[in-house]
Amino acid sequence: LDINEMKPLFVAKPLLPELSDLTPLLQRIWTSQIVTNQGPLHNELEAELATLFDVPVSVLFNNGTSALQCALLALDLPQGSEVITTPLTFAATAHAITASGLTPVFADIDEDTLTLDPEAVARAITSKTRAVIGVHVYGTICDHARLAPLCREYDLYLAYDAAHAFASSLDGQPVAQLGDMNIFSLHATKLFNTFEGGLITSSNEEFNRSLRLVRNFGIVNEERVEMVGINGKMSELNAAIGLLNLKIFEQERSIRTKLRAQYDAAIDGLAGITKQVAQSNVQQSEQYYMVRVNKDAFGFSRDDVYEALKKHQIMSRRYFWPICTDFESYRGMPIITRHKTSVVERVKNDVLCLPFHSGVEDHHVATIAQVFHDLKAKARVKLAV
């Protein structure tokens, strides 16, 4: 294809059901006249998700950020309590902590998985620490085997931001069961989406009541408001999309699994390019395809690759650069680490996410492969002169 004819290829593409399948559900909404506030479609979707993940707690929200905030509000922690998390995440993780009147404390990541380093978490614990939020970033699952006993030892809640890990499993167990709470985003960019939406799952029945309360302003009944809550409710329209997408997301995932293999082959053997870690005990959500570009070993920087791809209308994303401690809100806050300098400060300049969805065609993969190989060839020439 001529470059000028090529449409931009974005990192994500919303998974959409057949428009005709939506009509009967819209008819149901118009018949029931219930458009939000725990309507019939909403309750159906919650039930289907509870069954899918085999959890007693499945609570829908209007987005992943409100779900994160409600998870923290439901815990009713003393104001100013510290919540340990990773700086390599989307802004929402840290902001939800701050917006809940709590203090984010940033701990370093593991060199291979890029998820929270349990040893860094251990070092970050103080008398004010009440919770840890691990992020299964790029769909790579956190070191639950070490984080869970650590949190038990210090009596901390362990929550996971599982925005990138929908329908993922660890050693055969759904990640929706792992933490005290598991928070999903159902945003348009996610493998399973409701256009905008969020979900909290838990194996602990106790959280059911408080999560539903904080999702609805803390209102118990007409006469009683028990705690501080927000409007976190999902509408019937979003639930309708969810019911339909629930039937087709596995098909999308399998297309992405094949695409992952294609990308893997395309960049195989390129010195300085590192693939996302493959976790043999994990069923991947296939949310992202992330590569790391080591400037010294590859000969060009991550940003060079990003710009080169852009010239071909391939819009890769440098997720999650800038990291949270680069934001104006958190600048200057330390990243607790066991190393001399934090892993994340180095890694943030290397990470690049390639377009990863069913709209990526063979010719796109070929173009992307060509960009990587052309840069490598240029780097060799640079070295030779």
Ligand X SMILES: Cc1ncc(COP(=O)(O)O)c(C=O)c1O
> Interface with ligand X by CB under 6 A: which residues?
63-65, 89-90, 92-93, 135, 161, 163-164, 185, 187, 198
Burial class from Cβ neighbours inside 10 Å (0-12, 13-18, 19+) for residue 44 reads middle
- Shortest Å, Cβ 252 to ligand X: 17
Q: Which residue has the tokens 């602990």?
A: 204
Nearest CA to 116 out of 338, 357, 369, 373 is that of 338
113: amino acid identity, one letter: T
- Residue 166 vs 207, nearer CB to ligand X: 166
- Residue 130 vs 164, nearer CB to ligand X: 164
- Residue 63 vs 325, nearer CB to ligand X: 63
- Residue 299 vs 355, nearer CB to ligand X: 355
Running DSSP on this structure, what letter comes out for residue 176? G
- Residue 110 vs 273, nearer CB to ligand X: 110
Q: Which residue has the tokens 């949310």?
A: 287
List 282's β-bridge partners, or say none.
170
- Shortest Å, Cβ 358 to ligand X: 20
- CA-CA distance, 237 to 42, in Å (whole number)? 9
Q: How far apart are the first and last CA of the chain?
A: 34
Determine the residue with CB nearest ligand X.
Answer: 64
Nearest CA to 203 out of 53, 47, 84 is that of 53
Residue 229 CB neighbour total at 10 angstroms = 21
Burial class from Cβ neighbours inside 10 Å (0-12, 13-18, 19+) for residue 374 reads exposed
CA 376 from centre of chain: 31
Nearest CA to 63 out of 25, 86, 96 is that of 96
- By three-state DSSP, how is residue 110 classified? coil
Dihedral angle computed from the Cα positions of residues 335, 338, 342 and 347, in that order, rounded to the nearest 10 degrees: -120
- Shortest Å, Cβ 106 to ligand X: 14
**Cβ distance 348 to 114 under 8 Å?**
no
- CA-CA distance, 45 to 242, in Å (whole number)? 7
Task: Tell me the residue length of the chain.
Answer: 385
- Shortest Å, Cβ 163 to ligand X: 3
- Residue 117 vs 161, nearer CB to ligand X: 161
- Shortest Å, Cβ 378 to ligand X: 33
Could you give the angle at which helices 19-32 and 40-53 cross, rounded to 10 degrees?
120
- Residue 196 vs 236, nearer CB to ligand X: 196
- Residue 182 vs 274, nearer CB to ligand X: 182
- Residue 55 vs 163, nearer CB to ligand X: 163
- Shortest Å, Cβ 92 to ligand X: 4
- CA-CA distance, 352 to 343, in Å (whole number)? 16
- Residue 92 vs 176, nearer CB to ligand X: 92
- Shortest Å, Cβ 283 to ligand X: 19
- Shortest Å, Cβ 162 to ligand X: 8
- Shortest Å, Cβ 90 to ligand X: 4
- CA-CA distance, 332 to 335, in Å (whole number)? 9
- Shortest Å, Cβ 303 to ligand X: 21
Nearest CA to 287 out of 196, 160, 187, 370 is that of 187
